[in-house]
Amino acid sequence: MVKLPIPHQGPGDVESRAAAGARRCQGLLLAICLRLSWEEKQSGNLEDYEETVKKAKEAWKVWADIPAPKRGEIVRQIGDALRQKIKVLGSLVSLEMGKIFVEGVGEVQEYVDVCDYAVGLSRMIGGPILPSERPGHALIEQWNPVGLVGVITAFNFPVAVYGWNSAIAMICGNACLWKGAPTTSLVSVAVTKIIAKVLEDNKLPGAICSLVCGGADIGTAMARDERMDLLSFTGSTKVGKQVALMVQERFGRSLLELGGNNAIIVFEDADLNLVIPSALFAAVGTAGQRCTTARRLFLHESIHDEVVAKLAKAYAQVRIGDPWDSDTLYGPLHTKEAVKMFLDAVEQAKQQGGSVVCGGKVINRPGNYVEPTIVTGLPHNAPIVHTETFAPILYVLKFKEEEEVFAWNNEVKQGLSSSIFTKDLGRIFRWLGPKGSDCGIVNVNIPTSGAEIGGAFGGEKHTGGGRESGSDSWKLYMRRSTCTINYSKDLPLAQGIKFQ
């Protein structure tokens, strides 16, 4: 069920991007956007939520009875439907979120990829048959869907994060109830309509993948609701903590993907031809609004000045512009509040001893543009360095030794992504080992961002501990039963207990 929200954004956000792009953009897309955002300004309320949960629960009864490989077939069709609309959906992401067009398309591609992955998985999920210590008994692990999976996603990946959750949750046999970010509701509506059509063409209830657009009231209702068998939340650590506590209060299950404060460490033996584009992409891509954005760059003292100079040169060449232009590499921030947070962080960095090597200012053009920024000279433990600011600010820090820099990588509260650049084999394995990076994503000679769907995605500590997408993440969307079946004729109890 679809209810449209009142756009939270004023001129300078989605409307100004639409107006600026009107000359070039696909006329139809624009017409849809304008009609959706201006004529039907309506947000889902708690009554709508109640009705939607009931419909999703009803739909689950149908979905749970369908064999997993057949559910996979439906997910395959969803992937195909997304493939057909990949460009138009990518443009809508670009329009509403503000990321550049290729990244918007890339995000839909991630959803397509995870659908393919889920199709294969739909024939593989299952548990082992374990050896029973009792004669004539079988010990079987059975996995069942949890039921209804609530998915709350953030503005920065308005398609991919829902895709990761819903494709896997669906093949596991769950119904989904999605609440996207209030500022990217057009994307949520468009994606839901594509999925609903596939379901309904297969004579299945569209409510298997339900949507409620709304604000914090809906999010809170989901967190408190016992009927939400799993709540997957992607967003800030601050809100994620509130969600986690509300879900824990009712002994519910949550899957959390929260903040990151990701570091790239460059050793003296690193290939600097790799380092410069990698650091640039990780720090500046999506205007610094990825959870895996590189925010800290640790440089060995022997190469510090050289790398800073080269990086500043590379920053100066970043093509800033309209996210819809194929030439643009770097677009605007999502909202005006983000611009304010950017300026605050730059100010704090200066107060705490940092020097702005490049950037640091708002760009004088409509639409929330700020300069990609490099700050040097801060101590590794400056409070601002330990703060995740969702903006393109890179703190460059100097180190001497491996041991200290591994410790600095781990000293922040968050534990999402991390990278080293080196050719030293021993160091690489120390980095992957128990005294190396404590993050969920641990890279070597590639940057912190750009995860593949085949691996488990997520992080430790204040990042929330959840894992999504690949590997055995599917287990988080299911409940495990340990089943003992007696097929014998007598009564041997476990541990040799005699009960007479």
Whose Cβ is closer to ligand NAG: residue 16's or residue 132's?
Answer: 132
Quick one: DSSP state of residue 170?
H
DSSP 340: H
Using CB under 6 A as the binding rule, whether residue 203 contacts ligand NAG is answered as no
Told to check if 26 binds ligand NAG by CB under 6 A, we report no
Catalytic residue among 96, 107, 110, 257: 257
Q: Which residues is 330 bridged to in the sheet?
A: 320
Helix or strand or coil: residue 248?
A: helix
Annotation marks residue 257 as catalytic: yes
Which residue in the set 489, 495, 496, 498 belongs to the binding site for ligand NAG (CB under 6 A)? Answer: 489
Q: Are 172 and 476 in contact (CB under 8 A)?
A: no
**Residue choice 317, 490, 499, 500 for contact with ligand NAG (CB under 6 A):** 490
Work out how close the CB of 142 gets to ligand NAG at its nearest, in angstroms, rounded to a whole number: 19
List residues bridging with 469 in a β-sheet: 456
The answer to whether residue 302 forms part of the interface with ligand NAG (CB under 6 A) is: no
Between 86 and 139, CB nearer to ligand NAG? 139
Pattern 427-466, ligand NAG, x by CB under 6 A: ----------------------------------------
Is there binding between residue 488 and ligand NAG (CB under 6 A)?
yes
Candidate ranges 170-178, 204-212, 412-420, 484-492; the one touching ligand NAG (CB under 6 A): 484-492
- Specify the residue, 46 or 129, whose C-beta has the smaller distance to ligand NAG: 129
Q: What is the arrangement of strands in the sheet containing 137-145, beginning at the earlier edge strand? A: 129-130, 137-145, 478-486
Nearer to ligand NAG, 137 or 310 (CB): 137
User: Which is closer to ligand NAG, CB of 47 or CB of 490?
Assistant: 490
Using CB under 6 A, count the residues that bind ligand NAG.
5
Query: Is residue 486 near ligand NAG by the rule CB under 6 A?
Result: yes
Under the binding rule (CB under 6 A), the answer on residue 485 touching ligand NAG is no
Of residues 101-160, those binding ligand NAG (CB under 6 A): none
d(CA 57, CA 175): 7
Q: Which residue, 273 or 500, is less far from ligand NAG as judged by CB?
A: 500
Q: Among 290, 350, 294, which Cα is nearest to 161's?
A: 290
Instruction: Say if residues 461 and 413 touch (Cβ distance below 8 Å).
Output: yes
Handedness of CA 390, 391, 392, 397 (dihedral sign): negative
Q: Rounded CA gap, 145 and 471, in Å?
A: 17
Alpha helices in 372-487 (DSSP H): 402-410, 425-432
Whole-number Cα distances in Å, 258 to 267, 284, 358, 452, 454? 29, 20, 29, 18, 20
Least Cβ distance, residue 442 to ligand NAG (angstroms): 47
Q: Are the C-beta atoms of residues 261 and 386 closer than 8 Å to each other? A: yes
Residues labelled catalytic: 257
For binding to ligand NAG (CB under 6 A), which residues are involved? Answer: 486, 488-491
